[in-house]
């Protein structure tokens, strides 16, 4: 990470930094849709000052309503190699920019609700972003906030005739206001508010206990109602209120840097506009929301083991919707060659079919990645055909990290993509329905030559995750249909939300890791991703029973729920020696599985709304629903499940938990007790519950208690529970296929106007859901 300053007064050692010092000239772009600013790095007070004077060109454009882009360049003759983010995948909205001047001769460019006003004083540089009506200032580019830097700093301009020994950076610094907080930037496990942190957006396999991230997304959101998207898939370094405590500094290596300022004014509106720019999340099928189970990373996958586990889960009332085979479905040293280990899988197609025919699972997923081991059947063919990434001398790029002699699928080669798709089709032919696309973070940048020689290897490092997951997702869509495709990805970058879904990666089996995972999920949700999951119970190590049970409660409230571990099983009876009591792991898992099953009509309807708005289903920060509540921007140990239900996981073995309820009346899902916020509350919970509160004004459609698993008709034999409703409150009803059936609306008499769009035996509970038939609960207010 380049550091520009040594404190306030001194330049960083070995770095020469040049700042745009004034707006010397303003030229319209594309009529009234933009402005080009010529900005010298010194003040021009005479003609002589224009000589030997570097400049920064800053192009400012109206993109669409509420969005303005800025591109700063030093030497515009430098090539701008790809890959580039695939922007506006659903089409770009029309835009009408408007240029005006005020009585102080200050120039303003407006793009719908967002405007930027340029500094009007001579020999000064500055831009102010504000609502077009002038009611709200968002942020600024103040003095010495845009420019470029050399490392090492040249002692004379003559040295820059040969740039091979110099690195060149572009940077910009947005102002941080008093009390402003910054969130997002992908799946980050550090503190939820990023102010005070230095962040490198560079995909890495670092687990959940470090400042590294599998999913780096070059977008952040402010609690002041705006977001910033950096349009560069390469490494972006941010110093967020750290190098300059009142600024967010962004820097990239190269000669140009483009970014977008996105105005809401609400955080939901910011995310919706960001999703127009980078893409909306894809639709997922209902079965994917059910319980996923894997026999873990290094454990046995023979048919008798898998069958016994699935039968055990069914017997204990935790039916599995998706069974996942992790790495060792292939032989050791052969990953990824797409060949089932014949010793453990003599009849993989038959085995998969039998699992489904016996009703032990509905779908099957297998683990894959883009790394092709030298000893696998696929390597020789792929190498001969030129489908693997090469070194500059023509050798196949290989190393022994992870798999011996592994190569990397060259996703820039159309023929390689077609070959890989055919390999996936072979899996589909054997009954595989979904794919876990692991890895994709360790993408080399040195001594490599991609098939597409126009791409910049540096930019390919992060962007590889987009292209790889796109390849797999489109293969699934082609086989199973656009709305039936599901992958389980670990690496991602901006735009990869279009290929759901992602999970949090390798976490430890500790309460601290549970909290890390929640922070990662919250950050991912503010990065445009609707669907997120984690390894329930933790991946590394063996969870103590109490940690497993607390994680089960949180994990079954994520949009997607998977039991997965490394060297130990995650079926509940292996965790606590098959404790059959109400507080044992098996009964706890059964309770939470049943709860998610009942919530499926709500989950699915909320998921459809979430992806249309580019917002998270779960984990959703409270700040999205209560942006005017300052506390909501700092709560990072609880989350919203959709817009109407608040969940607060428990991190203490004692069951004690402190949680926050925003303004309004909140009803406990488990007891019907009503609490009034805003305020902090303390409770003590047994393992079958956690603070789960339903927001006032909620019409909650619940599946029938007799349903088992996530696959059923979400509009039939349902219970409609009303929570503190008033006239005009409404909710959307959907069926299993995702068809919108219509709205359930509260009339002037406080009752639902019409339930005829629902089928079968429909019951309405007017004071919260009917608690009869629930298992006993133990919740104590403290």
Task: Give 741: exposed, middle or buried? Use CB within 10 Å, 0-12, 13-18, 19+.
Answer: middle
The answer to whether residue 713 scores a pLDDT higher than 90 is: yes
Size of the chain in residues? 782
> Is 401 contained in some domain?
no
Looking at the structure, tell me whether residues 70 and 200 fall in a common domain.
yes
Q: Which pLDDT does position 461 carry in this prediction?
A: 98
Report whether 187 contacts 524 (CB < 8 A).
Answer: yes
Looking at the structure, tell me whether residues 437 and 531 fall in a common domain.
yes
Q: Which pLDDT does position 299 carry in this prediction?
A: 84
CA 363 to chain centroid, in Å, comes to 24
* Dihedral sign (CA 381, 385, 387, 392): positive
How are beta strands 67-73 and 256-263 bridged, if at all?
antiparallel
For every residue of 556-574, DSSP letters joined together read TTSSSEEE--SSS--SGGG
Residue 152 preceded by cis peptide, ω within 30: yes
How are beta strands 55-64 and 535-536 bridged, if at all?
unpaired
Sorting pLDDT into bands at 50, 70 and 90, what band is 628?
A: very high
Question: How many whole angstroms separate alpha carbon 99 and alpha carbon 105?
Answer: 12
The answer to whether residue 137 scores a pLDDT higher than 90 is: yes
Contacts of 244 (CB under 8 A, 6+ apart): 5, 173
Per-residue tokens: 331: 């032989």
How are beta strands 371-372 and 407-408 bridged, if at all?
antiparallel
Looking at the structure, tell me whether residues 310 and 255 fall in a common domain.
no
Per-residue tokens: 712: 């059923």
Residue 83 preceded by cis peptide, ω within 30: yes
Looking at the structure, tell me whether residues 326 and 247 fall in a common domain.
no
Question: How many whole angstroms separate alpha carbon 334 and alpha carbon 319?
Answer: 32
Report whether 628 contacts 532 (CB < 8 A).
Answer: no
**Alpha helix positions (H), 198-320:** 267-278, 303-315
For every residue of 486-533, DSSP letters joined together read -EEES-B-TTGGGS--EE----BSSHHHHHHHHHHHHHHHTTT--BEE
Residue 501 preceded by cis peptide, ω within 30: yes
Instruction: Tell me the three state secondary structure of residue 280.
Output: coil
CB count in 10 Å sphere of residue 103 = 5
The answer to whether residue 296 scores a pLDDT higher than 90 is: no
| Residue (of 470, 523, 527, 506) closest to 205 by Cα position | 506
The residues pairing with 502 across neighbouring beta strands, listed in sequence order, are 489, 532
684: CATH:
2.60.40.1180
> Is 592 contained in some domain?
yes
Sorting pLDDT into bands at 50, 70 and 90, what band is 306?
A: very high
Looking at the structure, tell me whether residues 442 and 541 fall in a common domain.
yes
> Is 161 contained in some domain?
yes
CB count in 10 Å sphere of residue 540 = 20
Q: Which pLDDT does position 301 carry in this prediction?
A: 83
Question: How many whole angstroms separate alpha carbon 2 and alpha carbon 18?
Answer: 14
Looking at the structure, tell me whether residues 608 and 664 fall in a common domain.
no
> Is 270 contained in some domain?
no
Report whether 262 contacts 509 (CB < 8 A).
Answer: no
Looking at the structure, tell me whether residues 632 and 697 fall in a common domain.
yes
| Residue (of 168, 216, 178, 200) closest to 56 by Cα position | 168
For every residue of 437-496, DSSP letters joined together read E--------SS-B-SSTTB-HHHHHHHHHHHHHHHHHHHHHHHH-TTS--EEES-B-TTG
Task: Give 210: exposed, middle or buried? Use CB within 10 Å, 0-12, 13-18, 19+.
Answer: exposed
The residues pairing with 639 across neighbouring beta strands, listed in sequence order, are 647
The answer to whether residue 636 scores a pLDDT higher than 90 is: yes
Instruction: Tell me the three state secondary structure of residue 555.
Output: helix
Residues 595, 601, 607: CA angle, nearest 5 degrees: 105
DSSP 188: -
Question: How many whole angstroms separate alpha carbon 24 and alpha carbon 18?
Answer: 16
73: CATH:
2.60.40.1760
Looking at the structure, tell me whether residues 342 and 254 fall in a common domain.
no
Report whether 398 contacts 371 (CB < 8 A).
Answer: no
Q: Which pLDDT does position 103 carry in this prediction?
A: 82
pLDDT tens, residue by residue, 531-589 = 999 999 999 999 999 999 999 999 999 999 999 999 999 999 999 999 999 999 999 99
Question: How many whole angstroms separate alpha carbon 529 and alpha carbon 495?
Answer: 9
Report whether 283 contacts 608 (CB < 8 A).
Answer: yes
| Residue (of 214, 202, 210) closest to 251 by Cα position | 202
Contacts of 756 (CB under 8 A, 6+ apart): none
Phi, psi of 476 (to 5 degrees): -65, -45
Question: How many whole angstroms separate alpha carbon 691 and alpha carbon 650?
Answer: 8
The answer to whether residue 295 scores a pLDDT higher than 90 is: no
Per-residue tokens: 526: 């503010």
Question: How many whole angstroms separate alpha carbon 121 and alpha carbon 665?
Answer: 52
- Which of 182-191, 260-269, 294-303, 579-588 is the least confident region? 294-303
Q: Which pLDDT does position 104 carry in this prediction?
A: 85
Sorting pLDDT into bands at 50, 70 and 90, what band is 161?
A: very high
Instruction: Tell me the three state secondary structure of residue 422.
Output: helix
| Residue (of 478, 409, 401, 461) closest to 437 by Cα position | 409
Instruction: Tell me the three state secondary structure of residue 277.
Output: helix
| Residue (of 527, 529, 523, 549) closest to 537 by Cα position | 549
Question: How many whole angstroms separate alpha carbon 686 and alpha carbon 565?
Answer: 24
Looking at the structure, tell me whether residues 609 and 629 fall in a common domain.
no
Sorting pLDDT into bands at 50, 70 and 90, what band is 300?
A: confident
pLDDT tens, residue by residue, 590-625 = 999 999 999 999 999 999 999 999 999 999 999 999
pLDDT tens, residue by residue, 190-240 = 999 999 999 999 999 999 999 999 999 999 999 999 999 999 999 999 999
pLDDT tens, residue by residue, 470-528 = 999 999 999 999 999 999 999 999 999 999 999 999 999 999 999 999 999 999 999 99
Classify residue 590 as left (phi > 0), alpha (psi -120 to 50) or beta: alpha
The answer to whether residue 2 scores a pLDDT higher than 90 is: no
* Dihedral sign (CA 342, 347, 349, 353): negative
Provide the mean pLDDT of the chain: 97
> Is 136 contained in some domain?
yes
- As a whole number of Å, the CA-based R_g of the chain is 27
Distances (CA, A) of 619 to 624, 641, 643, 763: 11, 6, 11, 30
Q: Which of 216, 248, 263 delimits the end of a domain?
A: 263
Instruction: Tell me the three state secondary structure of residue 58.
Output: strand
Q: Which of 554, 583, 613 delimits the end of a domain?
A: 613
CA 32 to chain centroid, in Å, comes to 35
DSSP 672: -
For every residue of 724-767, DSSP letters joined together read S--TT-EEEEE-TT--EEEEEEB-TTSSBS--TTSBSS-EEEBT
Report whether 229 contacts 218 (CB < 8 A).
Answer: yes
Report whether 538 contacts 508 (CB < 8 A).
Answer: yes
> Is 240 contained in some domain?
yes
Per-residue tokens: 484: 């039936």
Looking at the structure, tell me whether residues 492 and 526 fall in a common domain.
yes
Looking at the structure, tell me whether residues 735 and 653 fall in a common domain.
yes
Q: Which positions are annotated as active-site residues?
A: 438, 441, 506
> Is 280 contained in some domain?
no
| Residue (of 445, 455, 466) closest to 413 by Cα position | 455
Section 61-88 average pLDDT:
98
Q: How many domains does the chain have?
A: 3
Q: Which of 578, 613, 648 delimits the end of a domain?
A: 613
Q: Could you list the residue range(s) of the whole structural domain that residue 238 is in?
A: 5-79+96-263
Question: How many whole angstroms separate alpha carbon 106 and alpha carbon 121?
Answer: 8
Looking at the structure, tell me whether residues 238 and 334 fall in a common domain.
no
CB count in 10 Å sphere of residue 769 = 21
What share of the chain has pLDDT > 70, as a percent? 100
> Is 194 contained in some domain?
yes
């Amino acid at each position: 990470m380049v550091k520009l300053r040594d404190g306030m007064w001194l330049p960083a050692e070995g770095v020469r930094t040049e700042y745009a010092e004034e707006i010397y000239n303003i030229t319209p772009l594309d009529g009234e849709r933009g402005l080009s600013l010529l900005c010298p790095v010194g003040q021009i007070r005479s003609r002589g000052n224009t000589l030997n004077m570097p400049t920064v060109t800053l192009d400012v454009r109206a993109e669409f309503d509420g969005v303005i882009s800025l591109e700063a360049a030093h030497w515009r003759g430098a090539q701008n190699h790809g890959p580039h983010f695939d922007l506006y995948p659903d089409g770009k909205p029309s835009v009408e920019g408007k240029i005006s001047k005020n009585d102080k001769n200050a120039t303003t460019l407006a793009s719908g609700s967002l405007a930027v006003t340029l500094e009007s004083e001579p020999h000064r540089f500055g831009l102010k972003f504000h609502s077009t009506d002038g009611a709200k200032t968002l942020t600024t580019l103040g003095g010495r906030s845009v420019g470029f830097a050399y490392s090492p700093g040249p002692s004379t301009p003559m040295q820059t005739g040969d740039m091979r020994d110099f690195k060149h950076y572009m940077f910009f610094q947005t102002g941080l206001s008093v009390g402003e907080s910054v969130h997002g930037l992908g799946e980050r496990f550090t503190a939820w508010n990023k102010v005070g942190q230095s962040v490198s957006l560079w995909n890495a396999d670092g687990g959940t206990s470090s400042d590294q991230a599998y999913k780096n997304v070059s977008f952040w959101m402010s609690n002041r109602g705006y977001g910033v998207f950096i349009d560069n898939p390469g490494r972006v370094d941010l110093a967020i209120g750290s190098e300059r405590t009142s600024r967010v500094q962004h820097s990239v290596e190269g000669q140009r840097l483009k970014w977008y300022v996105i105005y809401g004014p609400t955080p939901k509106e910011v995310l919706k506009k960001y999703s127009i720019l980078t893409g909306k999340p894809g639709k997922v099928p209902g079965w994917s929301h059910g319980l996923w189970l894997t026999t873990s990373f290094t454990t046995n996958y023979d048919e008798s083991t898998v069958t016994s586990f699935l039968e055990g889960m069914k017997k204990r009332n935790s039916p599995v919707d998706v069974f996942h085979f992790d790495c060792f479905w292939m032989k050791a040293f052969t990953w990824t060659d797409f060949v089932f280990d014949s010793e453990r899988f003599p009849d993989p197609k038959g085995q998969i079919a039998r699992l489904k025919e016996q009703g032990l699972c509905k779908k099957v997923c297998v683990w894959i990645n883009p790394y092709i081991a030298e000893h696998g059947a696929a390597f020789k063919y792929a190498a001969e055909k030129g489908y693997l990434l090469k070194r500059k001398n023509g050798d196949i790029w290989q190393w022994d990290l992870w798999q011996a002699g592994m190569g990397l699928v060259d996703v820039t080669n159309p023929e390689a993509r077609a070959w890989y798709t055919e390999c996936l089709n072979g899996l589909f032919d054997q009954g595989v329905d979904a794919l876990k696309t692991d890895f994709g973070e360790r993408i080399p940048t040195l001594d490599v030559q991609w098939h597409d020689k126009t791409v910049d290897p540096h930019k390919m490092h992060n962007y590889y995750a987009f292209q790889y997951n796109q390849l797999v997702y489109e293969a699934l869509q082609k086989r199973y249909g656009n709305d039936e495709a599901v992958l389980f990805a670990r690496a991602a970058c901006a735009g990869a939300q279009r290929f759901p879904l992602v999970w949090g990666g390798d976490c430890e089996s500790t309460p601290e890791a549970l909290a890390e995972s929640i922070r990662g999920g919250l950050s991912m949700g503010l990065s445009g991703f609707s669907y997120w999951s984690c390894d329930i119970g933790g991946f590394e190590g063996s969870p103590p029973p109490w940690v497993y049970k607390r994680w089960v409660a949180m994990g079954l409230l994520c949009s997607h729920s998977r039991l997965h571990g490394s060297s130990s099983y995650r079926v509940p009876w292996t965790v606590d020696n098959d404790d059959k009591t109400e507080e044992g792991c098996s009964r706890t898992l059964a309770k939470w599985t049943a709860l998610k099953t009942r919530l499926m009509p709500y989950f699915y309807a909320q998921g459809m709304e979430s992806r249309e708005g580019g917002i998270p289903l779960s984990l959703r920060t409270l700040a999205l629903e209560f942006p005017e509540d300052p506390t909501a921007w700092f709560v990072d140990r609880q989350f919203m499940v959709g817009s109407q239900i608040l969940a607060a996981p428990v991190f203490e073995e004692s069951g004690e938990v402190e949680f926050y309820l925003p303004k309004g009346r909140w009803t406990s899902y488990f007891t019907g007790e009503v609490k009034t916020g805003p305020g902090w509350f303390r409770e003590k919970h047994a393992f079958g519950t956690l603070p789960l509160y339903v927001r006032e004004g909620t019409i909650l459609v619940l599946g029938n208690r007799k349903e088992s698993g996530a696959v059923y008709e979400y509009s039939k034999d349902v219970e409609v529970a009303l929570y503190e409703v008033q006239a005009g409150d409404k909710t959307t009803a959907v069926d299993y296929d995702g068809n919108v059936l219509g709205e359930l609306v509260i009339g002037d008499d406080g009752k639902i106007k019409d339930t005829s769009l629902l089928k079968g035996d429909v019951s309405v509970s007017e004071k919260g859901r009917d608690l009869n038939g629930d298992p006993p609960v133990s919740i104590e207010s403290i």
